[in-house]
């Protein structure tokens, strides 16, 4: 399987109101993959991280003629809970807005462009690497130490026995 590459001319993409959707695997994101693998080394469990990443990238012009890109990422990752070291699902739904411009962050401030807070800058590029951008965003969104939201199953049943709801009654009945 060869790694996918998605390169766009970002200004042309916006001018044509283009839209690009697709799906990536960890194979396409070696840096993200390496990061998850590093966590997996903490355990002796047979475990290999996996992920499905759906993306939706669209270009449009803003009301002031700005070139805007919006990106939605839906990641379903199987990673390792850093508390119980068992596999856990991690679902990330992320949305980003970019303004394609050769302006700097300072220019944005002085020009007081609307919603500047919610919009990240991306330099104008005829060869913008879309997968690298998505991978960067995912790596930044990834929790440093993902843990099960609720109590970890293996820690709840540490005794290894199924809790018997009648056990308490039994001990009460005993003479
Ligand atoms: Zn856990």
Centre of ligand 1 from the C-alpha of residue 84, in Å: 4
The pLDDT assigned to 61 comes to 92
CA of 53 to the centre of ligand 1 (A): 23
Q: Where are the domains of the chain?
A: 7-173
pLDDT of residue 60: 94
3-state secondary structure of 153: helix
Q: What is the dihedral of CA 139, 143, 144, 147, to 10 degrees?
A: -140
* Span from the CA of 135 to the centroid of ligand 1 (angstroms): 25
pTM assigned to the model: 0.78
Question: Looking at residue 41, what is its pLDDT?
Answer: 73
């Amino acid at each position: 399987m060869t790694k996918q590459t998605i390169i766009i001319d970002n200004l042309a993409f916006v001018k044509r109101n283009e839209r690009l959707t697709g799906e990536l695997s960890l194979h396409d994101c070696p840096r993200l993959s390496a990061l998850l693998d590093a966590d997996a080394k903490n355990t002796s469990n047979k475990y290999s991280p996996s992920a499905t990443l759906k993306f939706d990238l669209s270009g449009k012009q803003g009301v002031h003629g700005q070139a805007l890109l919006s990106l939605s990422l839906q990641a379903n990752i199987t990673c390792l809970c850093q508390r119980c070291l068992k596999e856990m699902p991690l679902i990330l739904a992320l949305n980003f807005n970019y303004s394609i411009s050769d302006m700097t962050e300072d220019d944005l401030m002085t020009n007081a462009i609307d919603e500047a807070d919610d919009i990240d800058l991306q330099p104008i590029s005829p060869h913008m690497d879309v997968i690298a951008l998505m991978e960067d965003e995912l790596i930044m969104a990834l929790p440093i130490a993902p843990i099960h939201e609720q109590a970890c199953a293996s820690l709840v049943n540490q005794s290894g026995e199924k809790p018997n709801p009648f056990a308490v009654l039994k001990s009460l009945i005993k003479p």
